[in-house]
């Protein structure tokens, strides 16, 4: 193994210049470790996806389960190791010489760990080679890190009213949600484990912030969904007994034994003294225990006091609309003492139609879910769950009417209630028996108390898929403020001035802004933390044309690997678009080689394109492509080419990696009539590339060039730009505050004009260090 470690280390050491300081060398070594971990994680996820096509014969399925667990463990280890490299990278610059030497020793140990994990992965590949299916193109990625088996549970459905019975169905999601039938039990992915410095008694979450309450010291802690601690406050009021996120109020609701409070976390406030606002909104009658929930219209409070249980329903202004009371000997709706004393929160479906609770039978290992009519409070249906003794927490993923119930056996029960009154029930069994509570935000599931209340498991529950159309985005999930990042590039020698390090052609900025998106320039020579922050805040990235540099390749690789990782794990759409050099770099990153292109003569040359068979069912040039745009591309010189290297179609088709990863959508002739690949898109990921320059058609006016400025050429440009922005609208990332957003936007910089005779660009943004 020492020989292999030497090989890996030499890759980083060979990159070290004699003039490098220890700090620079450690930075390169840490970056190398991050790159290797990202790449290996990508390979492991791909192997998981291909393993899904195993035979379902018993002996092979057992092998699949065992090997899938092996892959899950490997992936967890490599992600943990990647985080260690990140941690070192963040502290290198602030460390003294003695600490840097210690960091160097750590990096050596981490690289040794990487080699060991890599060898285990290679061993896994060899051991499973005989049971892999050859064709994995149609496989679906399932990331079962926190589960050891999937057990679809049949349920007994009983109708207790004249209304139609609920029908058990394997198809839960309507065609509006997803085109294919989805198994709700497999429709989730592990995302992260958040470790805290404090114990948690209660938590609530929205899509970007988690609030944690500690009933021992009465502190409220605020943690970003990515695990970054924000701040905390001392809770000055009576103890909180339940807390919930209310989306229509954009506030947290906290229930105490005397009152209901709303808690606002205002991200735009710069000082912590006024960023958290607490307001009492309602005095409550005395009770022993309580739970609260809400949907998009109503707030529901369930209380128990002595011999009485009560359900109170409030509107958005906390005005009471109705109350249902019951004595123990006349329980609502079941005459049962145990039902009254469950103290387990019921949940509301999105449109106020169904209220769900549960009833534990006297018979062991049997629980019945109860579905009530919210208007009359009549029991409409029951769903019996076998092998379940008690569900002690239940939460609803409101928008999709998916309920999560955590049972005493550490099983997570997933119940989907559709508008046409069909039901599907699934069960997940966890490795750990320390999971004590589950909550949801608008789209995710969080499980806490996996380590004595000091850790949160974050699960992404998935209902979306890549949109194969360019006709628009579902308005209910559309991001109406998309922000797209554009890589800057090292300044060429002809434009060099003191401290002027990078530049960006203004034509790319105009190209994106004309579609209704904003632009953030992505600077070179920045910290890993800077790039990670932008990846988590932007909605897509454009790799522009220009001259190849190692720094450009390094930054592009970060966004490329993160994009693949996010889509593999949580099907998050983060579009990447490569133009000219960006197109070439996408191929290099996929092929893990910079030596894949060959010279070709296509500089300052406008030409038409030839559509290839894969274009017909592509997202970029498929059914959504207007016929006039297709005709212009095929029959007019509407594509401006400014490249001297290219990928030949025969080389592309012969390469098993490139041809499997990408679709070749179009080819074009160079000045000698030889074809080159001109448009691609990933078969699986939101990644697209053009060897030509669509942005030049409308925004570059250099004289004596072949850049096409015809009406059809400009419409081609507009179509391509709109496609990228429509992809970005499907991403819901955002900056943590308006101040943070403004700090990065292109508006902070001023473009400079260059002449129309010699300069490639008429307006350029320069960036100074």
List residues with catalytic annotation: 580, 693
d(CA 662, CA 307): 66
Q: Beta strand pairing status for 483-487 and 541-543?
A: parallel
For the chain, the helix, strand and coil percentages under 3-state DSSP, each to the nearest 5: 30, 30, 40
Q: Beta strand pairing status for 518-522 and 483-487?
A: parallel
Contacts of 21 (CB under 8 A, 6+ apart): none
> Which of 692, 693, 679, 669 lies closest to 600, judged by CA?
669
d(CA 643, CA 692): 8
Provide the residue count of the chain.
769
- Bridge partners (DSSP) of residue 356 are 347, 371
Q: Beta strand pairing status for 308-314 and 687-690?
A: unpaired
> Which of 157, 137, 143, 18 lies closest to 73, judged by CA?
143
d(CA 379, CA 376): 9
For residue 450, whether the previous peptide bond is cis, meaning omega lies within 30 degrees of 0, is no
Count how many Cα atoms sit within 13 Å of the Cα of residue 270 in the half-sphere of its side chain: 3
- Bridge partners (DSSP) of residue 611 are 666
Count how many Cα atoms sit within 13 Å of the Cα of residue 497 in the half-sphere of its side chain: 6
**Residue 525 · residue 517 · CB < 8 Å:** no
d(CA 154, CA 427): 10
The set of long-range contacts for 671-675, using a CB threshold of 8 Å and a minimum separation of 24, is 671/601, 671/602, 671/605, 672/601, 674/600, 674/648, 675/610, 675/648, 675/649
């Amino acid at each position: 193994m020492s020989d292999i470690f030497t090989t890996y280390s030499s890759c980083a050491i060979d990159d070290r210049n004699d003039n490098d300081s220890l700090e620079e060398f450690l930075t390169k070594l840490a970056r190398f470790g991050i790159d290797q971990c990202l790449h290996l994680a990508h390979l492991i996820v791909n192997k998981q996806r291909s393993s899904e096509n195993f035979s379902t014969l018993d002996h092979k399925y057992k092998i699949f389960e065992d090997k899938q667990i092996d892959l899950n463990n490997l992936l967890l280890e490599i992600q943990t190791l990647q985080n260690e490299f990140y941690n070192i990278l963040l502290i290198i610059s602030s460390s003294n010489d003695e600490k840097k030497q210690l960091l160097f020793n750590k990096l050596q140990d981490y690289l040794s760990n990487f080699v060991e994990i890599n060898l285990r992965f290679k061993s896994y590949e060899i051991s499973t080679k005989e049971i892999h299916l050859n064709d994995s193109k149609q496989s679906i990625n399932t990331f079962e890190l926190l589960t050891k088996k999937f057990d679809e549970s049949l349920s007994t459905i009983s109708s207790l009213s004249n209304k139609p019975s609920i029908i058990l169905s394997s198809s839960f999601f309507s065609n509006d949600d997803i085109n294919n039938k989805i198994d709700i039990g497999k429709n989730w992915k592990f995302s992260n484990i958040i470790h805290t410095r404090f114990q948690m008694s209660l938590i609530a979450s929205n899509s970007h912030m988690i609030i944690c309450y500690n009933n021992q010291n009465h502190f409220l802690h605020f943690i970003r969904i990515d695990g970054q601690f924000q701040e905390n406050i001392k809770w000055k009021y009576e103890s909180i007994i339940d807390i919930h996120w209310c989306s229509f109020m954009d506030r947290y609701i906290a229930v105490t034994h005397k009152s209901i409070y709303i808690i606002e976390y205002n991200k735009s406030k710069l000082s912590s003294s006024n960023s958290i606002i607490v307001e009492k909104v309602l005095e409550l009658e005395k009770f022993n225990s309580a739970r609260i929930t809400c949907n998009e219209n109503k707030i529901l409070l369930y209380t128990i006091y002595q011999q009485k249980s009560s359900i109170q329903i409030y509107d958005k202004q906390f005005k009471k609309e109705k109350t249902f009371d019951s004595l123990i000997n006349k329980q609502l709706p079941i005459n049962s003492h145990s039902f009254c004393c469950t103290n387990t929160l019921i949940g509301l479906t999105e449109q106020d139609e169904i209220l769900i609770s549960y009833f534990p039978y006297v018979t062991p290992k049997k629980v019945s879910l109860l579905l009530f009519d919210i208007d009359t409070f009549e029991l409409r249906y029951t769903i019996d769950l076998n092998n379940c003794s008690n569900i002690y927490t239940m939460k609803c993923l409101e928008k999709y009417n998916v309920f999560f119930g955590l049972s005493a056996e550490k099983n997570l029960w997933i119940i989907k209630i559709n508008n046409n009154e069909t039901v599907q029930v699934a069960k997940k069994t966890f490795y750990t028996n320390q999971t004590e509570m589950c909550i949801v935000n608008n789209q995710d599931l969080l499980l806490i108390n996996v380590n004595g209340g000091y850790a949160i498991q974050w699960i992404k529950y998935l209902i979306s898929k890549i949109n194969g159309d360019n006709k628009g985005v579902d308005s209910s999930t559309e991001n109406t403020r998309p922000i797209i990042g554009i890589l800057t590039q090292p300044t060429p020698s002809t434009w060099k001035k003191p401290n002027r390090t990078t530049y960006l052609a203004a034509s790319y900025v105009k190209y994106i802004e004309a579609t209704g998106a904003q632009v953030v320039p992505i600077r070179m020579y920045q910290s890993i933390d800077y790039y990670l922050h932008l990846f988590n805040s932007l909605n897509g990235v454009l790799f522009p044309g220009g001259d190849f540099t190692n720094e450009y390749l390094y930054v592009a690789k970060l966004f490329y690997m993160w994009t693949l990782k996010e889509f593999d794990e949580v099907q998050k759409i983060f579009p990447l678009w490569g133009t000219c050099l960006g197109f070439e770099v996408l191929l290099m990153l996929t092929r893990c080689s910079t030596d894949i292109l060959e010279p070709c003569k296509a500089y300052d040359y406008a030409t038409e394109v030839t559509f290839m068979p894969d274009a017909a069912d592509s997202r970029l040039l498929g059914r959504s492509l207007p016929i006039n745009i297709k005709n212009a591309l095929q029959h007019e010189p509407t594509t401006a080419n400014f490249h001297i290297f290219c990928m030949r179609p025969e080389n592309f088709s012969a390469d098993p990696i490139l041809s499997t990863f990408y679709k070749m959508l179009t080819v074009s002739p160079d000045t000698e009539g030889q074809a080159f690949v001109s448009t691609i898109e990933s078969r699986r990921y939101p990644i697209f590339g053009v060897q030509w320059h669509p942005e030049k058609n409308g925004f570059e006016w250099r004289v004596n060039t072949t850049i096409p400025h015809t009406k059809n050429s400009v419409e081609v440009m507009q179509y391509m730009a709109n496609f990228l922005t429509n992809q970005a609208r499907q991403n819901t990332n955002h900056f943590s505050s308006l101040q943070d957003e403004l700090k990065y936007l292109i508006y902070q910089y001023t473009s400079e004009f260059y002449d129309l005779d010699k300069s490639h660009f008429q307006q350029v943004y320069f960036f100074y260090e």
